[in-house]
């Protein structure tokens, strides 16, 4: 039986990042390999899916590798339109500007309006670039995408000697780690590696700073930086970034030739014009089922969304985006079957810190479950290959399946 378009549930997915693509993967039948069977299944599907967002996906976790020249923009960018076409998903290249009508209407930046029966939001983070004066003008960030990291790498390559600062700041208002910590440690180690390879490491100072690190803080990540001769500037936050460096709260000027910085993270700007509940820290509010409270059939996952009662160590990560999108998709399917949402997501931190000549598997989960049944070592250079294998598999899936 073919289900007519009129009877189908209209599902709108916003964003083209990890959360949205994982959501689609878990929502649709034949999620891994869309074959002839998938086409038949699509005709029988009770869903009519539209994605609104950019036409390309960016694999952010590989951006730090721009520093060593192992990755470029084209390596990590995928045109997702063929992926969507293979799944019969309608694509609208636009930006969502407002959500109204209890989530049922989405208005875009070009002024178009789209109705839905179910809405999924996976629009990623916004960075508080005005939190420290001069952030926009005088810092680069791997978090803004390939362009900014290319400019930072170009700046470093143009220097034969110099002082480079790398740091981060976290938004702690929602009780979890809304900031890019791991990637900044990774960038510091990869920069050290790249400068050594160029034979100029002794001509550079690399400083690591964060207002969220206590003076003299110790730990496995700090050890990796210290053993590379990276200077730990702990226990203070810059008052301002300025031309040629930064200024401490006590007015001291610290000269820098380049600053790589990750500002605190928060939720999307369109919440201000929308009827969406927002957390204290500015994220879209969601419960453990991925639902936006008070709105029927509106879900959010990934870096745009807060958590209900999170453990303080849980970060914004592609891995968490996957777990959250999986639960949201299962709950959408349950609702379509007439059941209540019952799929909760686990809080888990899991990522490989790629230092090129070393690797660390950072892991913590609320139920104590280890990553991949403990098949992999927690520290080994081989983990760099494992991380690369995850990337290749995901990008192959998007490009070809």
Write out the residues near ligand FAD by the rule CB under 6 A: 14-20, 52-54, 60-61, 63-64, 95-96, 122-124, 142-143, 180, 183, 268, 270, 302-304, 316-319, 321, 351
Q: Please, are residues 167 and 213 in contact by the beta-carbon 8 Å criterion? A: no
Measured from the CB atom, the residue of 45 and 135 that comes closer to ligand FAD is 135
Measured from the CB atom, the residue of 122 and 162 that comes closer to ligand FAD is 122
For residue 300, what is the enclosing H or E element? strand 298-300
Measured from the CB atom, the residue of 34 and 179 that comes closer to ligand FAD is 179
β pairing state of 245-247 and 240-242: antiparallel
Least gap, CB of 297 to ligand FAD (angstroms): 19
Token code pair at residue 387: 């991380």
Which of these, 345, 347, 359, 344, lies nearest to 390 by C-alpha position? 359
Least gap, CB of 202 to ligand FAD (angstroms): 27
End-to-end C-alpha distance for the chain, whole angstroms: 26
Least gap, CB of 140 to ligand FAD (angstroms): 12
Least gap, CB of 215 to ligand FAD (angstroms): 26
Which of these, 76, 137, 101, 121, lies nearest to 304 by C-alpha position? 121
Token code pair at residue 215: 């003076």
Burial track 260-292 (b if 16+ CB lie within 10 A, e otherwise):
bbbbbbbbbebbeebbbbbbebbbbbbebbbbb
- Determine the Cα–Cα distance for residues 324 and 25; give it in Å rounded to an integer: 13
Residues in the chain: 401
Measured from the CB atom, the residue of 38 and 360 that comes closer to ligand FAD is 360
Measured from the CB atom, the residue of 38 and 260 that comes closer to ligand FAD is 260
Measured from the CB atom, the residue of 64 and 167 that comes closer to ligand FAD is 64
β pairing state of 47-53 and 9-14: parallel
Q: What is the DSSP letter of 219?
A: S
Least gap, CB of 362 to ligand FAD (angstroms): 9
Measured from the CB atom, the residue of 38 and 63 that comes closer to ligand FAD is 63
Least gap, CB of 96 to ligand FAD (angstroms): 4
Measured from the CB atom, the residue of 295 and 301 that comes closer to ligand FAD is 301
User: Residue with CB nearest ligand FAD?
Assistant: 17
Least gap, CB of 219 to ligand FAD (angstroms): 18
Which of these, 205, 208, 203, lies nearest to 169 by C-alpha position? 208
Token code pair at residue 388: 């690369």
- Determine the Cα–Cα distance for residues 352 and 186; give it in Å rounded to an integer: 9
Least gap, CB of 342 to ligand FAD (angstroms): 23
């Amino acid at each position: 039986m073919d289900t007519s378009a009129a009877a189908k549930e209209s599902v709108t997915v916003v964003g083209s990042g990890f959360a949205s693509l994982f959501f689609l993967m878990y929502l649709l039948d034949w999620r891994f390999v869309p074959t002839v069977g998938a086409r038949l299944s699509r005709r029988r599907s009770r869903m009519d899916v539209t994605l609104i967002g950019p036409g390309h996906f960016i694999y952010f976790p590989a951006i730090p590798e721009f520093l060593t020249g192992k990755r470029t923009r084209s390596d990590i960018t995928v045109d997702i339109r063929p992926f969507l076409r293979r799944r019969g998903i309608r694509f609208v290249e636009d930006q969502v500007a407002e959500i109204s009508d209890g989530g049922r209407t989405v208005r875009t930046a070009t002024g178009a309006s789209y109705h839905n029966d179910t809405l999924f939001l996976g629009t990623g983070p916004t960075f508080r670039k005005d939190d420290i004066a001069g952030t926009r003008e005088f810092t680069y960030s791997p978090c803004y995408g390939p362009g900014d990291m290319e400019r930072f790498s170009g700046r470093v390559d143009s220097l034969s000697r110099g002082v480079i600062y790398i740091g981060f700041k976290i938004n702690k208002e929602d009780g979890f780690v809304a900031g890019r910590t791991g990637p900044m440690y990774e960038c510091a180690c990869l920069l050290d590696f790249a400068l050594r390879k160029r034979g100029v490491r002794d001509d550079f100072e690399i400083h690591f700073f964060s207002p969220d690190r206590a003076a003299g803080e110790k730990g496995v990540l700090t050890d990796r930086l210290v053993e590379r001769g990276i200077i730990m500037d702990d226990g203070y936050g810059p008052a301002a970034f300025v031309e040629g460096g930064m200024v401490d709260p006590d007015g001291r000027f610290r000269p820098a030739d380049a600053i790589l910085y990750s500002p605190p993270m928060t939720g999307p700007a369109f919440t201000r014009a929308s009827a969406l509940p927002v957390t204290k820290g500015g994220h879209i509010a969601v419960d453990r089922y991925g639902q936006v409270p008070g709105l029927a059939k509106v879900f959010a996952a990934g870096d745009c969304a807060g958590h209900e009662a999170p453990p303080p160590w849980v970060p914004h990560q592609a891995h968490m985006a996957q777990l959250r999108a999986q639960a949201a998709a299962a709950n959408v399917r349950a609702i379509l079957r007439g059941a209540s949402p019952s799929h909760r997501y686990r809080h888990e931190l899991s990522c490989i810190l790629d230092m090129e000549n070393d690797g660390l598997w950072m892991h913590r989960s609320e139920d104590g479950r280890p990553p991949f049944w403990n098949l992999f070592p927690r520290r080994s250079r081989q983990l760099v290959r494992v991380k690369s294998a995850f990337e290749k598999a995901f990008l192959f899936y998007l490009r070809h399946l």
